[in-house]
Amino acid sequence: MRGTTAQQDLIRGIWRENPVLVQMLGLCPALAVTNSVENSLAMGIATFFVLCCSSVLVAALKRFIPHEVRISTYILIIATFVTVADMTLEAVRPDVHKALGAFIALIVVNCMILGRQEAFASKRPIGRALLDAAGTGTGFMIALVMMGGVREVLGAGTFLGVSIFGPSYEPWVVMILPPGGFLTLGIWLLGLSWWQKRRAGDGDAAPTDAIQGGGA
């Protein structure tokens, strides 16, 4: 972790250490609210906001927070920003707030946010903490939209509310119900690990093929 450049701090969380798809953090919201792209985006933005604000504040206050009570203090900071996000969303977009329900409040217990405070923001300068938070938050949003996109297209035949397949499409309703969440994430992970394996195995894949070809 030491000696990373600012660019690495920003990029890392987006894909290579993606919080949902690689580190398996924040699975509750990633499964629960991703039944449409709009809900996924709203959840992603709220989490992004909370993560950036908390990281900046923790990085700014790190000298004043005694080690023994650091976790309690982080939770206090995170809970404050979550409440701010909750009330703001309810005032600005009440319909989205209603759709997300209790899951906005549950951002507090998203281990991804606490994890970034403990592992990064509490020991780095403010600027770096903000970059790291922005990268991780973006990665979280990308994962959520990947889930929400698949589920909404298959489960409702729409993307962001715009019909894709036309009226003759019979929606695959189970995809926007809870089982669809588990299955979509499971299949995304399967696909990603297949892709990674193929990329890593490119070098020695060719000889194997040759041997098999020779045997046949």
Is residue 114 within 8 A of residue 75, CB to CB? The reply is: yes
**Which residues ranging from 55 to 114 are in contact with another protein (CB under 8 A)?**
59, 62-69, 71-73, 75-77, 79-80, 82-84, 86-88, 90-92, 94, 101-102, 105-106, 108-111, 114
**Which residues ranging from 130 to 149 are in contact with another protein (CB under 8 A)?**
none
How far apart are CB 206 and another protein at their closest, in Å? 19
Which x/- pattern over 24-53 shows residues binding another protein (rule: CB under 8 A)? x--xx--xx---------------------
167 or 214: CB nearest another protein = 167
Which x/- pattern over 177-206 shows residues binding another protein (rule: CB under 8 A)? xxxxxxx-xxx-xx--xx--x---------
How far apart are CB 188 and another protein at their closest, in Å? 8
Exposed e or buried b per residue across 154-169, where buried means at least 16 C-beta atoms within 10 angstroms of its C-beta:
bbbbbeeeeeeeeeee
